[in-house]
């Protein structure tokens, strides 16, 4: 069995050209399987049956291995047995129809309304950078845009009189998102004063500019956000995407329709948006337990 695993790993390296780290991962997973087979006294390929593979997967579950780990090891076994079958080492493909557990969807992190208010209050409005940063953060929270969408905005994408922004998401899909009054106010201040101070080339159309007068980059925004998170004393692991999660969660908590939130986020499938309902349901349960006299 060990010789077959070695041959399989060579096949992955030479014929499929997989990365070293991927091959090491396959090797660890298959060695773990062989150790289990050794414990149940199955040392020869001829004695191996599908029941042994299923018993191994049950064993992993009993050992409380993470769903992602079991899914990865199942995939490794399927690939391994498919190789053995194609090479003629086994008559029946023992890995066929093997199904690992579905990976659990991790609930996204988000900021509470209080934490968001605290963060948005940090930028200093007596500096050019502070005015710009305030406008960016307010717009990001007001719309739930991805950071890539935010930094790619041009001046003509913004209509403050009608209070909306036009952006392009994944697959170059256009969507129009309304902007709240606080974001409109911050953007007006930035456009009337801050942006002109940063502007170097009058032809530059980017909405948000860095200190060199060019379009702000994703990395530039990330550095700015980390600075404000630290100043706000927020200890959660915050990424730019947390603004998107907070936007969706706060809307749903306050009664927004799921389909409307889906449209504003630019999700093609509503199942992607539905993950936020787990957060709001959890919040409802918490409120119930805190408020009901017999909870």
* Active-site residue, 52 included: no
> Span 226-238, mean pLDDT?
91
* Active-site residue, 244 included: yes
Q: What is the pLDDT of residue 287?
A: 59
Give me Rg for the CA atoms of the chain: 27
Q: How confident is the model at residue 44 (pLDDT cuts 50, 70, 90)?
A: confident
Q: How confident is the model at residue 174 (pLDDT cuts 50, 70, 90)?
A: confident
Write the CATH number of the domain with boundaries 2-86: 1.10.150
* Active-site residue, 72 included: no
> Span 242-269, mean pLDDT?
84
What DSSP letter does each residue of 16-77 carry, written as one string?
S---HHHHHHHHHHHHHHHHHHHHTT--SGGG--HHHHHHHHHHHHHTT--HHHHHHHHHHH
Handedness of CA 86, 92, 93, 94 (dihedral sign): negative
pTM: 0.61
- From the candidates 170, 200, 230, 236, which is the catalytic residue? 170
Structure tokens of 73? Answer: 């090891």
> Span 12-21, mean pLDDT?
84
Give 81-119 pLDDT, tens digit per residue: 888 888 888 888 887 877 766 655 566 688 999 999 999
Return d(Cα 185, Cα 287) in angstroms, integer. Answer: 33
Tell me which of 56 and 98 has the higher pLDDT: 56
- Distances from the Cα of 182 to the Cα of 44, 232, 263, 292, angstroms: 70, 19, 22, 35
Give 193-230 pLDDT, tens digit per residue: 999 999 999 999 999 999 999 999 999 999 999 999 99
* Active-site residue, 218 included: no
User: Is a pLDDT exceeding 70 seen at residue 282?
Assistant: no
Q: What is the pLDDT of residue 101?
A: 64
* Active-site residue, 16 included: no
Q: How confident is the model at residue 250 (pLDDT cuts 50, 70, 90)?
A: confident
What stretch of H or E contains 79? helix 67-86
Residue bearing tokens 């909405």: 207
* Active-site residue, 267 included: yes
Residue 116 · residue 246 · CB < 8 Å: yes
- From the candidates 73, 132, 134, 244, which is the catalytic residue? 244
- From the candidates 73, 132, 146, 195, which is the catalytic residue? 146
Burial of 210 from C-beta contacts in 10 A (0-12 / 13-18 / 19+)? middle
Structure tokens of 9? Answer: 């790993």
How high is the mean pLDDT of the chain? 87
- From the candidates 241, 259, 278, 282, which is the catalytic residue? 241
Residue bearing tokens 């934490």: 115
- From the candidates 50, 227, 267, 283, which is the catalytic residue? 267
User: Is a pLDDT exceeding 60 seen at residue 295?
Assistant: no
User: Is a pLDDT exceeding 60 seen at residue 22?
Assistant: yes
Domain residue spans of the chain: 2-86, 113-291
Residue 115 · residue 168 · CB < 8 Å: no
Exposure string of 88-103, with b = 16+ CB inside 10 Å and e = fewer, is eebeebbbeebebbee
- From the candidates 141, 190, 228, 276, which is the catalytic residue? 276
User: Is a pLDDT exceeding 80 seen at residue 262?
Assistant: yes
Q: How confident is the model at residue 284 (pLDDT cuts 50, 70, 90)?
A: low
Kindly state the DSSP code that residue 176 receives in the 8-state scheme.
Answer: E
Q: What is the pLDDT of residue 286?
A: 66
Q: What is the pLDDT of residue 143?
A: 93
Write the CATH number of the domain with boundaries 113-291: 1.10.443.10
> Span 251-278, mean pLDDT?
79
Residue bearing tokens 């414990």: 39
């Amino acid at each position: 069995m060990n010789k077959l695993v070695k041959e399989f790993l060579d096949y992955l390296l030479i014929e499929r050209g997989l990365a070293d780290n991927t091959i090491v991962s396959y090797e660890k997973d298959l060695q773990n399987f062989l150790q289990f087979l050794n414990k149940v006294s199955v040392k020869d390929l001829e004695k191996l049956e599908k029941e042994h593979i299923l018993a191994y997967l049950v064993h992993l579950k009993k050992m409380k291995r993470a769903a992602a780990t079991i899914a990865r090891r199942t995939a490794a076994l399927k690939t391994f047995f498919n190789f053995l079958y194609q090479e003629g080492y086994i008559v029946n493909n023992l890995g066929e129809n093997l199904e690992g557990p579905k990976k659990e969807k991790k609930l996204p992190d988000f900021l509470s309304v209080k934490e968001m208010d605290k963060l948005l209050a940090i930028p200093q409005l007596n500096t050019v950078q502070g005015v710009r940063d305030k406008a960016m953060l307010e717009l990001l929270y007001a719309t739930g845009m991805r950071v890539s969408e935010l930094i790619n905005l041009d001046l003509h994408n913004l209509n403050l009189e009608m209070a909306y922004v036009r952006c392009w998401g994944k697959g170059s899909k256009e969507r129009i998102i309304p902007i709240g009054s606080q974001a409109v106010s911050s953007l007006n201040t930035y456009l009337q004063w801050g942006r002109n101070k940063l502007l170097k080339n009058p032809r530059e159309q980017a909405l948000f500019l860095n200190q060199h007068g060019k379009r702000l980059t994703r990395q530039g925004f990330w550095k700015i956000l980390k600075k404000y998170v630290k100043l706000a004393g927020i200890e959660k692991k915050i990424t730019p995407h947390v603004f998107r999660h907070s936007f969706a969660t706060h809307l749903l908590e306050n009664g927004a329709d799921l389909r409307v939130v889906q449209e504003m986020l630019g999700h093609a499938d509503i199942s992607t948006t539905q993950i936020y309902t787990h957060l709001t349901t959890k919040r409802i349960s918490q409120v119930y337990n805190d408020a009901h006299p017999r909870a």
